Amino acid sequence: MSKKYAICYNPKIENASTITNKLKDLLLKNKLEYVLFDIDNPGRDCDFVFVVGGDGTILKAARYYSNYDIPIFGVNLGHLGFLSQAGANEIEKALGKILNGEFLVEDRMMLKSAKYKALNDFVIKGEFSSRASEFILEIDNKQVCNYFADGIIVSTPTGSTAYGMAAGGPVITPDVGVIVIVPICPHTFAARPIVISADSKIKIVGQNNQNYIVSADGQEVFSFSGSLEISKSEKPAKLALLGENDFYKILKNKLHWGISPERTL
Protein backbone atom coordinates (compact mmCIF):
# COMPACT_ATOMS: atom_id res chain seq x y z
CA MET A 1 0.00 0.00 0.00
CA SER A 2 1.50 3.33 -1.08
CA LYS A 3 1.89 6.19 1.34
CA LYS A 4 -0.28 9.27 1.22
CA TYR A 5 1.72 12.41 1.79
CA ALA A 6 0.60 15.79 3.07
CA ILE A 7 2.07 19.25 2.78
CA CYS A 8 1.21 21.47 5.74
CA TYR A 9 2.41 25.02 5.19
CA ASN A 10 2.28 28.42 6.85
CA PRO A 11 0.93 30.97 4.33
CA LYS A 12 2.00 33.83 6.59
CA ILE A 13 5.69 33.09 5.98
CA GLU A 14 7.38 34.60 2.94
CA ASN A 15 8.01 32.14 0.08
CA ALA A 16 5.91 29.42 1.76
CA SER A 17 3.57 29.18 -1.25
CA THR A 18 6.50 29.06 -3.69
CA ILE A 19 8.25 26.26 -1.81
CA THR A 20 4.98 24.40 -1.33
CA ASN A 21 4.36 24.50 -5.07
CA LYS A 22 7.86 23.18 -5.71
CA LEU A 23 7.24 20.31 -3.32
CA LYS A 24 3.89 19.58 -4.97
CA ASP A 25 5.57 19.40 -8.38
CA LEU A 26 8.21 17.00 -7.06
CA LEU A 27 5.57 14.71 -5.55
CA LEU A 28 3.58 14.72 -8.79
CA LYS A 29 6.76 14.02 -10.76
CA ASN A 30 7.22 10.92 -8.63
CA LYS A 31 3.56 9.96 -9.11
CA LEU A 32 2.84 10.30 -5.39
CA GLU A 33 -0.54 11.05 -3.86
CA TYR A 34 -0.70 14.11 -1.59
CA VAL A 35 -3.08 16.48 0.20
CA LEU A 36 -2.50 20.12 1.06
CA PHE A 37 -3.21 21.76 4.44
CA ASP A 38 -2.88 25.22 5.93
CA ILE A 39 -1.17 25.00 9.35
CA ASP A 40 -4.22 26.67 10.90
CA ASN A 41 -6.48 23.98 9.43
CA PRO A 42 -4.48 20.74 9.44
CA GLY A 43 -5.96 17.40 8.47
CA ARG A 44 -5.00 13.81 9.22
CA ASP A 45 -5.85 12.05 5.97
CA CYS A 46 -2.18 11.15 5.38
CA ASP A 47 0.73 8.94 6.47
CA PHE A 48 3.60 11.45 6.33
CA VAL A 49 3.65 15.26 6.53
CA PHE A 50 6.03 17.81 5.06
CA VAL A 51 5.79 20.94 7.23
CA VAL A 52 6.80 24.12 5.39
CA GLY A 53 7.56 27.08 7.66
CA GLY A 54 9.68 28.03 10.67
CA ASP A 55 10.15 26.33 14.03
CA GLY A 56 6.83 27.76 15.24
CA THR A 57 5.04 26.05 12.36
CA ILE A 58 6.76 22.75 13.17
CA LEU A 59 5.84 23.03 16.85
CA LYS A 60 2.20 23.60 15.97
CA ALA A 61 2.22 20.68 13.54
CA ALA A 62 3.91 18.42 16.10
CA ARG A 63 1.23 19.10 18.71
CA TYR A 64 -1.50 18.19 16.24
CA TYR A 65 0.00 15.22 14.41
CA SER A 66 1.35 13.59 17.57
CA ASN A 67 -2.26 12.73 18.40
CA TYR A 68 -2.37 10.45 15.34
CA ASP A 69 1.18 9.00 15.34
CA ILE A 70 1.93 10.68 12.00
CA PRO A 71 5.58 11.63 11.39
CA ILE A 72 6.42 15.16 10.27
CA PHE A 73 9.40 16.48 8.28
CA GLY A 74 10.33 20.14 8.66
CA VAL A 75 11.30 22.35 5.71
CA ASN A 76 12.70 25.56 7.16
CA LEU A 77 11.73 29.01 5.91
CA GLY A 78 12.20 30.75 9.24
CA HIS A 79 15.10 32.32 11.11
CA LEU A 80 16.72 29.50 13.09
CA GLY A 81 15.21 26.27 11.83
CA PHE A 82 16.41 24.21 14.79
CA LEU A 83 13.67 21.59 14.36
CA SER A 84 13.81 21.40 10.58
CA GLN A 85 15.76 18.96 8.43
CA ALA A 86 15.99 20.79 5.11
CA GLY A 87 16.19 24.31 3.77
CA ALA A 88 14.32 25.68 0.78
CA ASN A 89 17.15 24.74 -1.61
CA GLU A 90 17.45 21.18 -0.27
CA ILE A 91 13.93 19.92 -0.90
CA GLU A 92 14.65 17.74 -3.94
CA LYS A 93 17.61 16.02 -2.25
CA ALA A 94 15.63 15.53 0.98
CA LEU A 95 12.63 14.07 -0.85
CA GLY A 96 14.90 11.62 -2.67
CA LYS A 97 16.28 10.38 0.65
CA ILE A 98 12.80 10.02 2.12
CA LEU A 99 11.53 8.04 -0.87
CA ASN A 100 14.60 5.79 -0.63
CA GLY A 101 13.92 5.17 3.05
CA GLU A 102 17.09 7.02 4.12
CA PHE A 103 15.50 8.55 7.20
CA LEU A 104 14.45 7.60 10.68
CA VAL A 105 11.46 8.58 12.78
CA GLU A 106 12.46 9.76 16.23
CA ASP A 107 10.00 9.90 19.11
CA ARG A 108 10.29 13.20 20.97
CA MET A 109 8.78 13.44 24.42
CA MET A 110 6.00 15.95 24.88
CA LEU A 111 4.44 17.44 28.01
CA LYS A 112 0.76 17.77 28.85
CA SER A 113 -1.26 19.99 31.15
CA ALA A 114 -5.04 19.61 31.09
CA LYS A 115 -6.02 19.65 27.40
CA TYR A 116 -2.77 21.31 26.29
CA LYS A 117 0.43 19.74 24.96
CA ALA A 118 3.94 21.10 24.35
CA LEU A 119 6.92 19.78 22.42
CA ASN A 120 9.24 22.49 23.77
CA ASP A 121 7.92 23.81 27.06
CA PHE A 122 5.28 25.24 29.31
CA VAL A 123 6.15 28.71 30.61
CA ILE A 124 4.32 29.94 33.71
CA LYS A 125 4.28 33.61 34.70
CA GLY A 126 2.21 35.82 36.96
CA GLU A 127 -0.74 37.66 35.49
CA PHE A 128 1.26 40.88 35.57
CA SER A 129 4.44 40.05 33.69
CA SER A 130 6.11 43.30 34.77
CA ARG A 131 6.59 41.98 38.31
CA ALA A 132 7.91 38.83 39.96
CA SER A 133 5.52 36.24 41.38
CA GLU A 134 5.64 33.50 43.97
CA PHE A 135 5.45 29.85 42.92
CA ILE A 136 5.62 26.67 44.98
CA LEU A 137 7.07 23.69 43.12
CA GLU A 138 5.89 20.18 44.01
CA ILE A 139 7.31 17.01 42.45
CA ASP A 140 5.57 13.67 43.02
CA ASN A 141 3.49 15.20 45.85
CA LYS A 142 6.56 16.52 47.65
CA GLN A 143 7.21 20.22 48.10
CA VAL A 144 10.59 21.00 46.55
CA CYS A 145 11.04 24.75 46.71
CA ASN A 146 9.42 28.14 46.81
CA TYR A 147 10.35 30.43 43.92
CA PHE A 148 10.04 34.20 43.83
CA ALA A 149 10.80 34.78 40.18
CA ASP A 150 9.62 36.25 36.91
CA GLY A 151 8.39 32.80 35.91
CA ILE A 152 9.09 29.08 35.60
CA ILE A 153 9.92 27.03 32.50
CA VAL A 154 9.02 23.34 32.44
CA SER A 155 10.81 21.90 29.44
CA THR A 156 11.35 18.71 27.47
CA PRO A 157 14.84 17.78 26.25
CA THR A 158 13.82 19.11 22.82
CA GLY A 159 12.87 22.43 24.42
CA SER A 160 16.07 22.65 26.44
CA THR A 161 17.72 24.51 23.56
CA ALA A 162 14.92 27.09 23.44
CA TYR A 163 13.73 29.42 26.23
CA GLY A 164 15.19 27.18 28.92
CA MET A 165 18.72 27.56 27.58
CA ALA A 166 18.28 31.33 27.25
CA ALA A 167 17.22 31.44 30.91
CA GLY A 168 20.33 29.56 32.04
CA GLY A 169 19.12 25.98 31.88
CA PRO A 170 21.18 23.00 30.68
CA VAL A 171 21.31 21.62 27.14
CA ILE A 172 19.81 18.11 27.12
CA THR A 173 20.15 15.66 24.24
CA PRO A 174 16.73 14.67 22.83
CA ASP A 175 17.08 10.98 23.69
CA VAL A 176 17.35 11.53 27.46
CA GLY A 177 14.16 10.84 29.41
CA VAL A 178 14.02 13.86 31.68
CA ILE A 179 12.11 17.07 32.37
CA VAL A 180 13.93 20.33 33.04
CA ILE A 181 12.58 23.01 35.38
CA VAL A 182 14.19 26.44 35.06
CA PRO A 183 13.26 29.51 37.13
CA ILE A 184 13.25 32.78 35.17
CA CYS A 185 15.25 35.55 36.91
CA PRO A 186 14.78 34.17 40.46
CA HIS A 187 15.27 36.68 43.26
CA THR A 188 17.82 34.50 45.05
CA PHE A 189 21.17 32.90 44.29
CA ALA A 190 19.90 29.62 45.75
CA ALA A 191 17.37 28.88 42.98
CA ARG A 192 18.88 26.75 40.23
CA PRO A 193 17.53 24.68 37.33
CA ILE A 194 16.62 21.12 38.22
CA VAL A 195 16.53 18.00 36.03
CA ILE A 196 14.05 15.28 37.03
CA SER A 197 12.72 11.97 35.73
CA ALA A 198 10.33 12.17 32.80
CA ASP A 199 7.90 10.05 34.81
CA SER A 200 7.63 12.62 37.59
CA LYS A 201 4.41 14.53 38.23
CA ILE A 202 4.87 18.27 38.56
CA LYS A 203 2.57 20.69 40.33
CA ILE A 204 2.99 24.47 40.33
CA VAL A 205 1.03 26.00 43.21
CA GLY A 206 0.12 29.66 43.04
CA GLN A 207 -0.18 32.01 45.97
CA ASN A 208 -2.76 34.43 47.37
CA ASN A 209 -5.45 33.68 44.76
CA GLN A 210 -3.21 35.18 42.10
CA ASN A 211 -3.91 34.45 38.44
CA TYR A 212 -1.11 32.94 36.36
CA ILE A 213 -0.58 32.85 32.61
CA VAL A 214 0.74 29.72 30.90
CA SER A 215 2.00 29.36 27.33
CA ALA A 216 2.47 26.05 25.54
CA ASP A 217 5.39 26.30 23.12
CA GLY A 218 4.92 30.08 23.23
CA GLN A 219 1.76 29.68 21.12
CA GLU A 220 -1.26 28.43 23.05
CA VAL A 221 -1.97 30.60 26.08
CA PHE A 222 -4.24 29.84 29.03
CA SER A 223 -4.57 30.92 32.65
CA PHE A 224 -5.05 29.31 36.04
CA SER A 225 -5.31 30.11 39.72
CA GLY A 226 -4.64 27.63 42.48
CA SER A 227 -2.43 24.97 40.94
CA LEU A 228 -1.26 23.57 37.62
CA GLU A 229 -0.24 19.96 36.95
CA ILE A 230 2.26 19.01 34.25
CA SER A 231 3.45 15.54 33.23
CA LYS A 232 4.76 13.58 30.27
CA SER A 233 2.27 13.12 27.46
CA GLU A 234 1.33 9.58 26.49
CA LYS A 235 1.83 10.50 22.82
CA PRO A 236 5.28 11.63 21.63
CA ALA A 237 5.90 13.81 18.61
CA LYS A 238 7.28 11.86 15.67
CA LEU A 239 10.01 13.76 13.83
CA ALA A 240 11.31 12.40 10.55
CA LEU A 241 15.08 12.93 10.50
CA LEU A 242 17.54 12.37 7.69
CA GLY A 243 20.29 9.83 8.24
CA GLU A 244 23.02 12.40 8.81
CA ASN A 245 21.12 14.08 11.63
CA ASP A 246 23.61 14.97 14.38
CA PHE A 247 22.44 16.84 17.47
CA TYR A 248 25.89 18.22 18.30
CA LYS A 249 26.42 19.35 14.71
CA ILE A 250 23.09 21.16 14.83
CA LEU A 251 24.16 22.89 18.06
CA LYS A 252 27.32 24.12 16.40
CA ASN A 253 25.71 25.14 13.11
CA LYS A 254 22.55 26.72 14.47
CA LEU A 255 23.63 28.09 17.87
CA HIS A 256 27.43 28.32 17.40
CA TRP A 257 27.73 26.21 20.54
CA GLY A 258 31.22 25.26 21.72
CA ILE A 259 32.98 27.42 19.12
CA SER A 260 35.74 29.65 20.46
CA PRO A 261 35.77 33.27 19.26
CA GLU A 262 38.36 34.07 16.61
CA ARG A 263 41.60 35.50 17.87
CA THR A 264 42.63 38.95 16.74
CA LEU A 265 46.17 40.30 16.67
Q: Which residue out of 55, 121, 150, 217 is catalytically annotated?
A: 55
| Annotated catalytic residue 199 | no
User: What DSSP character marks residue 15?
Assistant: T
Q: For residue 85, which amino acid is it?
A: Q
Query: DSSP string of 28-82?
Result: HHTT--EEEEETTB-----SEEEEEE-HHHHHHHHHHHGGGT--EEEEE-SS--T
124-133 core/surface letters (b: 16 or more CB in 10 A; e: else): bbbeeeeebb
| DSSP alpha helix (H) spans, 86-243 | 91-99, 163-166
Give phi and psi for 110, each to the nearest 5: -120, 160
Catalytic residues: 55
